[in-house]
C-alpha cells in the first residue's frame, strides 16, 4: 500500500503544511481572485492570494482590502497591490469569471517574497482563529521592495520584519474591544476561514461571497 519516499519522510519534521507563524517567505503565488465582503451592508472588496513557500508550506486567504466598507478606495490596500504588481513585473491586473468566482489570472505562478504576520482573533462562536496578513511585498530574486530596488538600496525592509517577527512569531494576543467582545470589527473580518480544513465553518459575517460580481468591470486599473 505504501512505497517509501525519502523526501516525504524528511518533510514530516517541518511541522505541517501551512504557515502558522509570522515570517518572511519566498515562493510562488498559487491562486489570486477578487472577493467581496459577505456583509450585505459593506462595500469592501479584496484581492485574495495564496502562496506556497520554497519549503513547500502554504498560506491561503491572504487578502488585501482595496475598497473600504463605505465604498471609498483604501489607500493602504491600493499601495499594497501596486507593490505586489511591481515586485512581480506586472503592468495590470485583470478579472476572469470562473464559475462563481472572479479570478486574477495574471498573478498565478508569479514568484514573490512577502512578510506575513499572524493576526489572532475571536470568531463569532467564541473560538480562536487566525489569519496571515501581508505586511510587505518584496522581489523574489533580491528580497527588495519596489522602492529599495529602484534606489539600489539593501533589503532593509526584509530584515526589519524578520527581527520584528522573531520577537513575536505567534502574533499579538487578542485584545478585547469596548463592546466586551474579542472579535474583529465587521469590516476587518477575514473574507475566508483561516485554514482549509475549516471551510465548512462558514460562520464569519464577512465570508467571501459566492456570487454578486455582476457590477465588476472587466479590468481594474491598478
- Average pLDDT of span 94-111: 97
The pLDDT value given to residue 5: 77
Domains identified in the chain, total number:
1
- Average pLDDT of span 32-60: 96
78: its cell numbers: 491600493
Q: In which band, very low, low, confident or very high, does the pLDDT at 15 lie, cut at 50, 70 and 90?
A: low
Q: In which band, very low, low, confident or very high, does the pLDDT at 63 lie, cut at 50, 70 and 90?
A: very high
Q: Does 175 map to a domain?
A: yes
| Kind plus residue range of the DSSP H or E element containing 31 | strand 23-36
The pLDDT value given to residue 1: 65
Q: For 125-177, how does the pLDDT look when each residue is reduced to its tens digit (9 = 90+)?
A: 989 999 999 999 999 999 999 999 999 999 999 999 999 999 999 999 987 65
Do strands 111-122 and 93-94 pair parallel, antiparallel, or not at all (unpaired)? unpaired
Q: Does 147 map to a domain?
A: yes
Cα torsion 212, 217, 219, 222 to 10°: value is -90
Neighbours of 207 (CB within 10 A): 19
Please give the residue range of the domain that contains residue 109. Answer: 17-199+206-215
Residue 148 carries which DSSP code? H
Q: Does 120 map to a domain?
A: yes
Place of cell 457590477: 215
Amino acid at each position: 500500500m505504501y512505497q517509501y519516499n525519502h523526501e516525504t519522510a524528511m518533510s514530516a519534521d517541518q511541522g505541517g503544511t501551512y504557515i502558522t507563524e509570522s515570517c518572511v517567505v519566498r515562493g510562488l503565488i498559487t491562486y489570486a481572485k477578487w472577493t467581496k465582503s459577505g456583509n450585505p451592508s459593506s462595500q469592501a472588496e479584496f484581492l485574495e492570494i495564496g502562496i506556497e513557500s520554497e519549503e513547500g508550506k502554504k498560506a491561503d486567504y491572504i487578502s488585501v482590502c482595496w475598497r473600504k466598507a463605505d465604498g471609498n478606495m483604501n489607500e493602504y490596500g491600493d499601495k499594497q497591490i501596486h507593490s505586489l504588481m511591481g515586485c512581480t513585473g506586472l503592468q495590470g491586473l485583470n478579472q476572469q469569471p470562473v464559475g462563481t468566482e472572479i479570478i486574477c489570472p495574471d498573478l498565478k505562478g508569479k514568484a514573490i517574497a512577502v512578510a506575513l504576520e499572524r493576526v489572532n482573533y475571536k470568531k463569532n462562536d467564541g473560538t480562536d482563529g487566525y489569519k496571515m496578513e501581508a505586511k510587505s511585498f518584496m522581489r523574489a530574486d533580491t528580497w527588495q521592495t519596489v522602492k529599495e530596488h529602484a534606489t539600489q538600496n539593501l533589503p532593509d525592509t526584509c530584515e526589519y520584519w524578520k527581527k520584528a517577527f522573531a520577537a513575536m512569531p505567534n502574533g499579538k494576543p487578542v485584545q478585547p474591544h469596548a463592546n466586551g467582545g474579542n472579535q474583529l470589527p465587521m469590516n476587518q473580518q477575514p473574507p475566508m476561514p483561516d485554514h482549509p480544513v475549516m471551510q465548512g465553518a462558514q460562520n464569519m459575517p464577512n465570508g467571501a461571497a459566492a456570487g454578486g460580481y455582476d457590477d465588476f468591470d472587466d479590468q481594474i486599473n491598478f
